[in-house]
Chain A
Amino acid sequence: DTAVSQTPKYLVTQMGNDKSIKCEQNLGHDTMYWYKQDSKKFLKIMFSYNNKELIINETVPNRFSPKSPDKAHLNLHINSLELGDSAVYFCASTPTGRGMDEQYFGPGTRLTVT
């Protein structure tokens, strides 16, 4: 009964390809997030969705497009992959978007672009 799950766990692909990462939470939370963790372990928010509505879109290239079919799912689609996109991508969720709730993180998706 994983609270926040991501698929795939590992993704190896070539430059220029398009790929998607899926995230699902079974906690009934309203808000979901995508984070990127680089090779130095810095964690940076990419997107925040509240009940299927985009709330925050940080300075992320428009090659990255999040999609939320319902409030339990937040997928990340990446077009024209570049070497610099190699990182670990984490999905997370919180009950609300008010900033006072702890986040529940998925296990991460390690993306390697060759």
Chain B
Amino acid sequence: AQSVAQPEDQVNVAEGNPLTVKCTYSVSGNPYLFWYVQYPNRGLQFLLKYITGDNLVKGSYGFEAEFNKSQTSFHLKKPSALVSDSALYFCAVSIYGQNFVFGPGTRLSVLP
């Protein structure tokens, strides 16, 4: 069965500093990996995905993530955090023909 872990409930970072939101996964097969962001009282918005190919994927709003097969990780990163990045971030995994499994979410707070 597929599973996703986001080991940090909360990440705090100062504005302008780099940020990392961690995600590890477990699947039996080749994973498809996704990051979504949720702002208060809104639906989830897609940020980026890894399907195949280059391990470093770039997405919306300056975010990027690196797929590491040996560590079964897909950490979300941004070189310079903005206060407006403060939100709830979800990692999700699926495999071909299967449904998505979401992690528990990580709340990111960017402090001015």
Q: List residues of A whose CB falls within 8 A of some B CB.
A: 4, 33, 40-45, 48, 56, 90, 92, 97-100, 102-108
Q: A43-B90, A99-B97 are in contact. List 20 more A-B contacts (CB 8 A).
A: A4-B43, A33-B100, A40-B104, A41-B105, A43-B105, A45-B99, A45-B100, A45-B101, A90-B44, A92-B43, A92-B44, A99-B98, A100-B96, A103-B46, A105-B43, A105-B44, A105-B45, A106-B43, A107-B42, A107-B43
Q: Within 8 Å of chain A (Cβ to Cβ): is B34?
A: yes
* B44 → A minimal CB distance (Å): 5
Bound-state Cα–Cα, A40 to B103, Å = 12
**Contact with A41, one of B36, B97, B98, B104 (Cβ below 8 angstroms):** B104
CB contacts (< 8 Å) of A48 on chain B: these are 99
The residue among A4, A56, A99 with the most chain B CB atoms within 10 A of its own CB is: A99
Bound-state Cα–Cα, A102 to B49, Å = 7
Residue total for B at the interface (Cβ-Cβ under 8 A): 25
Find out whether the CB atom of A100 lies under 8 angstroms from the CB atom of B94.
Answer: yes
Q: Among residues 71 to 92 in chain B, which have CB atoms less than 8 Å away from a CB atom of chain A?
A: 88, 90
Query: Contacts A48-B99, A98-B96 given: A103-B104 contact, CB under 8 Å?
Result: no
CB contacts (< 8 Å) of B105 on chain A: these are 41-43
Find out whether the CB atom of B43 lies under 8 angstroms from the CB atom of A102.
Answer: no
Q: Could you jot down 11 A-B contacts, CB within 8 Å?
A: A4-B43, A33-B99, A40-B104, A45-B100, A56-B99, A97-B97, A99-B97, A99-B100, A103-B100, A105-B45, A106-B43
Question: What per-residue 1/0 map shows which CB atoms of B10-38 lie under 8 Å from chain A?
Answer: 00000000000000000000001010101
Query: Contacts A41-B88, A42-B105 given: A98-B97 contact, CB under 8 Å?
Result: yes
